[in-house]
Structure 1
């Protein structure tokens, strides 16, 4: 073989090596890209799961801390709670209930818009102890302060206080955003010493395992459930300029706080628009499988597939129908939150809304089932409030509400409150003598 032949052969071998090395690099690049795609897909699935998860699948949101430090924090909070219960001296206007406002406050006051006259929206809600776990998802979805009144009594107090301590210690979103207020009957004052009975509370264990759940519904107790007293305490304890009164088993659409405050900023320059006398209506829905759509488009898709429907669609459609859901559905989807349209109040409409924190309080005579929310919305109407439906905002309730799924004394309680509502409407005529509006 001549010199030229050997040179040619060496050149071909080098070319072959370069070619094989190039193939190896290409395969390696494709493998890296494939791994990246797999990684991103996995992350998206995890994020979707987290965003659509209900309280039962919220364990990944729980803080995984040191058991000893958790116990020390729980014991510290327990001492604060028990000292306040022992020193309670504030009662409601009827003299029937003890009230402890801010029995536990958020860790980081100011971070989520808390503070006197802060330009933000506080979710205002109330609950019995057996629904407290709903705060996990609500606090994660809501980027603002939450004010919650918790009703308890001596037979329920240990469960209630332990639940508050566990949630406050183990969930950062609750610790940073939620203000707790405790209400209990004067003749049913808690007489428990939790300081010596807290060793089983640990953030390493899920809620249902570390605390024995109560099975009773709100109305299945001999003690009447004072909805409107609880609402008023949570409302008066809010420190922001606006409040959003909802039920604790509901979740608002994403970024509602930021988008709403931008709407307020734009509307402030409109001299013909009275922000302080407007109730901004947030259309409410029920979710069959407790998945929370991220935006209006996904909500409309879920509505089309019948996984979501308007709130009270089966149990009291007339109570929500004036929201004009079909009209809301047809509003053009924009990136900017705004008023879609205004509606007139009609009996027995009881929408969920955002309004000034100076909104009229709830009538505390209404207890148990029936007319407790509508009475306050009725007063807004008589007081001259306008009802403006927001175009993109919405609220989702956990599960479908169905007929026949109520407690036994529901009809009796509703009839009692119906009579009180008639009296209430007549009293509004005296309270607002110059108003041309009536309920």
Structure 2
């Protein structure tokens, strides 16, 4: 009887050991399978983008450190700025796409990341404490699930100085903690965003567009400063890099990228100049600000640009003399004047900086192939009711600004 029990006990021990061995082999198989799948995804990703120099944990630590610093006040004392919620490493000669947005307009980022293959910097404005919290949680979600964001995007945050952005509480991460992919992050953002009329914040807060532009392009040598709902043509970053790498003659030159606007239905956004011109001739695409302020873009000379012979290499096609109120989108390096941060809300914010470029001696050359396309037509009736009052206020400031340039550049023979 004792021998029977001993045999049965040994049998059970052998069975348990066999089951444990099978379980371990299954775990090993699943681990190897998962590793191979992850390696395939990583290799596919690396075909298009360089590897991120930092892990997810490092990026999250940087985010928390930036928020825990309490931020710094801007020159006016009206805004609190948190630099480097996300950071990216870049070649000193690289071209940065610098943009700004309210939290609701961050849903445009995927289109920029898809078209612009180089580094991207975005300065986000949160008008309320709740928006600041949403911005930090969103940044945390993007850093966790979007390898392209970790590798190529820098993000800064600004909010009214009376608010402080909080470090996301890991015990109460909210709905974004349930997301498991980058697509889900941006889908969720699109569902919670509440886009309003331009700059109509509804919280007695001024949108500091020029401060945000300076924040986004901070530390960059060459930068293309655009609004977040403007998409570059396919390959623009590569073309600019190749052109700038071949010569150092671009100091003091503003390389103008023609800007267009397009109806938001029926047709996808054009990738090439050929596609753009077809839509242009069909009346689906027109010069940017065509109805709002045609003189603000007219010196680009769209007819001349459209008639240029097609070329494969990006290059400056012709030089244009600056005249008021031209506000071109451009790439420039070196000692580029900052945007004057006294200009807020609507009116004269970009014109003032282009005016100073002109007085400082920059020349403007229009690129032959690249372009920007704004998603949707700009319509004067879509602006918020305070637009005209803001425009008049900034018009007076612009007159003062031009007088100040005479003292800042006493030897310049140019004026606005």
Query: TM tier, shorter chain?
Result: 0.7 to 0.9
Task: Pick closer, same or farther for the CA change 1:198–1:280 going to 2, 3 Å.
Answer: same
CA distance in 2 between counterparts of 1:224 and 1:105 reads 27
CA distance in 2 between counterparts of 1:261 and 1:104 reads 23
Look up the SS of the partner of 2:224 in the other structure.
strand
CA distance in 2 between counterparts of 1:76 and 1:198 reads 19
Match of residue 207, structure 1, among 179, 182, 186: 186
Question: Displacement of 1:86 after TM fit?
Answer: 3.0
Match of residue 101, structure 2, among 127, 148, 154: 127
Runs of at least 4 residues off by over 4 Å? 73-80
Query: In the alignment, is the contact (CA less than 8 A) between 2:315 and 2:368 conserved in 1?
Result: yes
CA distance in 1 between counterparts of 2:239 and 2:61 reads 40
Task: Pick closer, same or farther for the CA change 1:77–1:175 going to 2, 3 Å.
Answer: closer
Match of residue 149, structure 2, among 170, 174, 185: 174
5 Å matches for 1:35-54? none
Match of residue 73, structure 2, among 72, 78, 91: 91
Match of residue 299, structure 1, among 276, 284, 291: 276
5 Å matches for 1:347-426? 347-426=324-403
Match of residue 304, structure 2, among 318, 327, 349: 327
Cα deviation code 1:310-341 (max 9, x no counterpart): 11111111110110000100011111211111
2:18 alignment counterpart: none
CA distance in 2 between counterparts of 1:166 and 1:74 reads 10
Look up the SS of the partner of 1:237 in the other structure.
coil
CA distance in 2 between counterparts of 1:146 and 1:76 reads 19
Match of residue 220, structure 1, among 175, 183, 201: 201
Task: Pick closer, same or farther for the CA change 1:360–1:157 going to 2, 3 Å.
Answer: same
2:241 alignment counterpart: 261
1:146 alignment counterpart: 120
Task: Pick closer, same or farther for the CA change 1:333–1:429 going to 2, 3 Å.
Answer: same
Question: Displacement of 1:388 after TM fit?
Answer: 0.1
5 Å matches for 1:100-111? 100-106=82-88, 109=89
Cα deviation code 1:243-282 (max 9, x no counterpart): 11111111111111222233234444xxxxx511000000
Cα deviation code 1:161-188 (max 9, x no counterpart): 2232333333332222110011122212
**Contiguous gaps of at least 5 residues in structure 1:** 1-62, 64-72, 269-273
Query: In the alignment, is the contact (CA less than 8 A) between 1:341 and 1:389 conserved in 2?
Result: yes
How much is the aligned-residue C-alpha RMSD, in angstroms?
A: 2.2
Match of residue 232, structure 2, among 221, 232, 252: 252
What is the number of equivalent residue pairs in this alignment? 353
Task: Pick closer, same or farther for the CA change 1:228–1:400 going to 2, 3 Å.
Answer: same
Look up the SS of the partner of 1:176 in the other structure.
helix
Find out whether 1:431 has 2:408 as its counterpart.
Answer: yes
2:255 alignment counterpart: 280
**Contiguous gaps of at least 5 residues in structure 2:** 1-44, 46-54
Query: In the alignment, is the contact (CA less than 8 A) between 2:141 and 2:185 conserved in 1?
Result: no
Look up the SS of the partner of 2:162 in the other structure.
helix
Look up the SS of the partner of 1:350 in the other structure.
coil
TM-score, with length taken from structure 2: 0.79
Cα deviation code 1:354-391 (max 9, x no counterpart): 00053110101001111111100000000000000001
Task: Pick closer, same or farther for the CA change 1:103–1:191 going to 2, 3 Å.
Answer: closer
Look up the SS of the partner of 1:102 in the other structure.
strand
Look up the SS of the partner of 1:397 in the other structure.
strand
Look up the SS of the partner of 1:183 in the other structure.
strand
TM-score, with length taken from structure 1: 0.75
CA distance in 2 between counterparts of 1:292 and 1:300 reads 12
CA distance in 2 between counterparts of 1:130 and 1:331 reads 38
